[in-house]
Amino acid sequence: MDDPDLVAPHRQELRRGSVVLASLIALETPGYGYGLLDALERAGLPVEANTLYPLLRRLEAQGLLTSEWDTSETRPRKFYRTSPDGIQLAKALRREWQDIGAALDRLTPDTKETKP
Amino acid sequence: MTTTPPNSTSSATTPLTDSYIAATLRRVPLGQRAEIERELRASIADAVEGRTEHGATPGTAEFDALSDLGDPARLAANYSGRTLALIGPDTYPSYLTALKVISWTVLPIVLVVVVAISIVQGKGIAGAIFGGIGQAIMVAVYLGFFVTLAFVFVDRGVTAREFATHRGSEWSPKFLHVEAPPTARSWAEPAWSVVGSILLIAAVVAQRTLSPVTSASGTPIQILALDLWTIWIPYFLVVIIASLALDFARLGIGRWHPVTAMLGTLLTLAGTVPFVSLMWQAKIVNPALWRAVGHPEWTIQGNWLVLTVALVVALVALGSIIELWSKRSRRQGQVASA
């Protein structure tokens, strides 16, 4: 089971949904596109730039992020911040994430035997 | 066109980045371009800076940053949420079926008819076969083009509507379209259209040499007016082939759909309106034929014969358009009673 061609698409599929949650959590502290890309990668959740940047705009359009142009530095950057709605959603998604983990534990034969 | 906001940075403006951004922007909706450009420029500049801080030269840093962003077409598609396929998964299976069935029926018949006519006209067998293959290839190119075009329209229309109806509302079984079970899905309608169209096309070709009426010198007089070959016969053939493609698309979708009904209406009108007008002007049948059989009065515009035929054709067309739309109310009635 270490064929990378077989593993990669499944990993990607599994991680895809986590990008939204990770972005909502990370942007509770305001951040800009490239900074977030870098932060996600350093945290161990690398995302393609061409996925992340459009995603940020979509989340903003859905009211889950707010944005503001910061022109005080030499390079103007668009800073995103998770909105109250986004924080609510992140909480719900995080609960969901933990539920999935718990469900997977319950389904694993070893844990099944130890539980009852 | 450039939409650089006045206070946008110029630090990363190199021809390479500029053309990358231009390639992305021309694929996103006009209204979003200025904002996306500004953000994208900043992000690229950030990425380049991040790489040069790790010791890359500015040139390689920029090249690598753009490589990481990937194909501008894909980036733009992600921004605009638009599909990259001309014919999507909804209609692709019926597109293939339509192409196969139409090719395997129309092309052999074109081949046989053209070869037979050439032989009748006294050309050698080899010349006749090569001529036939040449004609068949030409017809194949036309078929491919118009079938594809018809399906692109159907696909765009279908996906656009499905998207509009499903977005923003929770799905419920009541959105299911009432449709016949797959076993009851009928191939009869497209099969008859294919057979009918082939017979019609064969007849149009055959009447050039096989006519019941011959002139005094014994040469056959064509039934259709000779002028029609310049524009109208190719035009009607295109309409017929497009209608065939639509029949298959309809079968593939498997239920009434406003886009196919609309296209069906347009095609019916596109076929009927010029035909009725030409018929009324007595321009369909070769005038020489009427004179040869002793009815010169039927070559006059608006005579009783052409008026009757034109009226009947118009009524049949009207009936088929009404039928196209009546399936909709039947469907809605079923949904309401379900």
Please tell me the pTM assigned to this model: 0.48
Instruction: Calculate the dihedral angle through the C-alpha atoms of B127, B132, B134, B135, rounding to the nearest 10 degrees.
Output: 140
Residue B305: helix, strand or coil by DSSP? helix
pLDDT(B1) > 70: no
Q: For residues B99 and B75, state if they share a domain.
A: no
CB distance A76–B42 less than 8 Å? yes
Size of interface A-B (CB pairs under 8 A): 62
Q: For residues B191 and B57, state if they share a domain.
A: no
Q: What pLDDT shows up at residue A99?
A: 95
Q: For residues B48 and B116, state if they share a domain.
A: no
Instruction: Could you list the beta-strand ranges (E) of chain B.
Output: none
Q: Which range has the worst mean pLDDT, B23-37, B127-141, B155-169, B321-335?
A: B155-169
Higher-confidence position of B320 and B83: B320
Q: In the listed set B57, B80, B103, which residue is the last one of a domain according to the structure? A: B80
Q: For residues B183 and B243, state if they share a domain.
A: yes
Closest partner CB to B43 (pick from A33, A55, A69)? A33
Q: What pLDDT shows up at residue B272?
A: 92
Higher-confidence position of B254 and B128: B128
Higher-confidence position of B73 and A79: A79
Distance of CA A102 to the CA centre of its chain: 19
pLDDT(A6) > 90: no
Task: Please compute Rg for chain A using Cα positions.
Answer: 17
Q: What pLDDT shows up at residue B10?
A: 42
Contacting residues of B for A55, CB less than 8 Å apart: 78
Q: Which residues of A1-10 are buried (b: 16+ CB within 10 A; e: fewer)?
A: eeeeeeeeee
Q: Any CB–CB contact under 8 A between B75 and chain A?
A: yes
Q: Are A24 and A64 in contact (CB under 8 A)?
A: yes
Average pLDDT, chain A: 88
Rounded mean pLDDT of B274-285?
A: 90
Task: Report the chain B residue with the minimal C-alpha distance to residue A75.
Answer: B9
CB distance A49–B74 less than 8 Å? no
Domain range holding B112?
92-337
Contacting residues of A for B38, CB less than 8 Å apart: 69, 76, 78
Q: For residues B205 and B324, state if they share a domain.
A: yes
In a domain, residue B161? The reply is yes
Q: For residues B275 and B309, state if they share a domain.
A: yes
ipTM above 0.95, yes or no: no
Q: For residues B186 and B260, state if they share a domain.
A: yes
Q: What pLDDT shows up at residue B219?
A: 79
Rounded mean pLDDT of A39-52?
A: 90
CATH of A4-114, one of 3.40.50.300, 1.10.10.60, 1.10.10.10, 3.40.190.10: 1.10.10.10
Over residues B175-191, the pLDDT tens digits come to 455 444 444 456 667 77
Distance from the Cα of B8 to chain A's closest Cα (Å) equals 7
pLDDT(B135) > 50: yes
Q: What pLDDT shows up at residue A31?
A: 93
In a domain, residue B323? The reply is yes
Q: For residues B103 and B176, state if they share a domain.
A: yes
Q: Any CB–CB contact under 8 A between A79 and chain B?
A: no
Average pLDDT, chain B: 78
φ, ψ (nearest 5 deg) of residue B172: -140, 155
Mutation target to probe the A interface, by most A beta carbons within 10 A, among B32, B39, B53 is B39
In a domain, residue B124? The reply is yes
Higher-confidence position of A62 and B84: A62
Task: Report the chain A residue with the minimal C-alpha distance to residue B39.
Answer: A78
Residue B282 contacts by C-beta under 8 Å, 6 or more apart in sequence?
Answer: B298, B299, B300, B301, B302, B303, B306
Q: CA torsion sign, B288 to B293 to B296 to B302?
A: negative
Residue with tokens 């190199």: B14
Contacting residues of B for A49, CB less than 8 Å apart: 43, 47, 68-70
Q: Which range has the worst mean pLDDT, A84-98, B83-97, B124-138, B222-236?
A: B83-97
User: What distance in Å separates the CA atoms of residue B31 and residue A65, rounded to the nearest whole number?
Assistant: 20
Q: What pLDDT shows up at residue B167?
A: 46
Q: For residues B19 and B114, state if they share a domain.
A: no
In a domain, residue B207? The reply is yes
Overall number of domains in chain B? 2
Closest partner CB to A50 (pick from B9, B45, B74)? B74
Q: List the one residue out of B29, B31, B8 whose CA is nearest residue B18.
A: B8
pLDDT(B9) > 50: no
Rounded mean pLDDT of A85-108?
A: 94
CB distance B46–A32 less than 8 Å? yes
In a domain, residue B176? The reply is yes
Q: What pLDDT shows up at residue B159?
A: 64
Residue B3: helix, strand or coil by DSSP? coil
Q: For residues B239 and B329, state if they share a domain.
A: yes
Q: For residues B296 and B228, state if they share a domain.
A: yes
- In one-letter notation, the amino acid at residue A59 is L
The structural domains of chain A, with segments of one domain joined by +, span 4-114
Higher-confidence position of A4 and B301: B301
Q: What pLDDT shows up at residue B335?
A: 44
Strands across the sheet with A65-70, in order? A31-32, A77-82, A65-70
Q: What pLDDT shows up at residue B19?
A: 87
Q: For residues B273 and B166, state if they share a domain.
A: yes
pLDDT(B228) > 70: yes
Over residues B22-76, the pLDDT tens digits come to 888 888 888 888 889 999 999 999 999 989 998 888 888 888 888 888 888 888 8
